[in-house]
Amino acid sequence: MSIVMTGGGTGGHLAIIRAVKEELKGKKIIYIGSTSGQDKSWFEHDNDFEKKYFLQTRGVVNQGIFGKIKSLWMLACTVVSSYQIIKKENVKVVFCVGGFSAAPASIASVLARVPLVIHEQNAVIGSLNRRLMKYAKVFISSYVEDSPIKSYPIKKEFFENARLRKSVKTILFLGGSQGSLSINNIALSLAPWLKNESIKIIHQAGEKNIDNVKKRYEEIGIEADVFGFANNMPQIMSQADIAVARSGASTLWELSANNLPTVFVPYPYAAGDHQFFNAKFLVDQNLAFIFREKKVDIEEIKNIIKDSKDLEAKSKSLKKVIDKNGSKQIANLLLKLSKQS
């Protein structure tokens, strides 16, 4: 009896699998992903999985007619391979987090009549999850009112390092490991004022941008802690009193779990504009701030940073929007279904 976890391509999807699998240690769990994207770099050497299968898949969208035909052929072949894996490994439930990597195993689970559990990370449902949700035994989303599990599954360290913010002594700029030109420009525009206010700067500039961003800080005579990728993000977040960040789902909920008030600048080209709607979910509850990339108001961000009463209120309220047991709740659901089927 085993559980298959599938999906990925990007870190946002894979972070869900990483969080949930930590609650399934000692159980027979299998990963089915893709040779493309970030799947292998995340899980190829992960011993929590009894077996790992990386299949040749790629996305269908944003390709020409011949590219789509090739992608669909690859999908058909990998669905057959996934079906064979599900049968051979006596799989009792498949957990899908979306992304092109998830398609083969998810479709195969439907064909094999194995319960499919879908977790949707974003406020706008992804194309694969949207097509599969009617076949799912359970559909989970933090943004859907009737979802059986509302709490987003993230690592416990983000909760363990949470604290109440009352004033801004340190600011964190988060552009992701790939970096964000927009977030970088906001940070550098604010830097002289932040220095005058004695506010320390921590800046995730992106692996490719570290040298350039460090040089620009040096040119304006400002010290900043600049980095690209980091494995200790819970500890980094805990140092900050406010953040300026993109609003990918995992980042948004990690910041919430850390009780860190955030100014969100959504990536404007995300599919379905989902980053905007992710952030809007918190903004509508008066838990965060949001600016469209082309309408960032530096002076307004300064006012936000200076408003310690609002900062404290948001930090306190963020404690109530996410439960630390999200990962465990999903893991328990998967175990329950695996015993029933």
- Residue 54 domain boundaries: 2-153+325-340
Residues 113 and 165 in one domain: no
Residues 270 and 191 in one domain: yes
Whether the predicted pLDDT of 153 surpasses 90: yes
User: DSSP for 99-143?
Assistant: SGGGHHHHHHHHHTT--EEEEE-SSSPPHHHHHHGGG-SEEEETT
Cβ atoms of residues 182 and 169 within 8 Å: no
Residue 227 parent element (H or E): strand 225-227
Instruction: Please give the residue that has the higher pLDDT: either 172 or 73.
Output: 172
Cβ atoms of residues 232 and 292 within 8 Å: no
Instruction: Find, among 265, 214, 261, 213, the residue nearest to 237 by Cα.
Output: 261
Cα distances from 113 to residues 79, 84, 109, 136, 279, in angstroms, run 14, 13, 6, 10, 36
Cβ atoms of residues 3 and 92 within 8 Å: yes
Residues 313 and 330 in one domain: no
Whether the predicted pLDDT of 96 surpasses 90: yes
- CATH of residue 49's domain is 3.40.50.2000
Average pLDDT over residues 89-95: 96
Residues 123 and 227 in one domain: no
Q: What is the mean pLDDT of the chain?
A: 92
pLDDT band at 135 (very low <50, low <70, confident <90, very high): very high
Residues 145 and 206 in one domain: no
Residues 37 and 331: their CA atoms lie apart, in Å, by: 25
Instruction: Please give the residue that has the higher pLDDT: either 304 or 9.
Output: 304
Residues 177 and 273 in one domain: yes
Domain count, the chain: 2
Residue in the structure block whose two tokens are 């959504």 = 266
Whether the predicted pLDDT of 61 surpasses 70: no
Residues 75 and 193 in one domain: no
Residues 208 and 148 in one domain: no
| Cross-strand pairs, 51 | 30
Residues 184 and 300 in one domain: yes
pTM here is 0.88
Instruction: Find, among 212, 208, 282, 220, the residue nearest to 251 by Cα.
Output: 282
Residues 143 and 201 in one domain: no
Residues 145 and 42: their CA atoms lie apart, in Å, by: 31
Provide the pLDDT for residue 67.
Answer: 62
Angle formed by the axes of helices 65-88 and 103-111, nearest 10°: 60
Residues 125 and 273 in one domain: no
Residues 145 and 261 in one domain: no
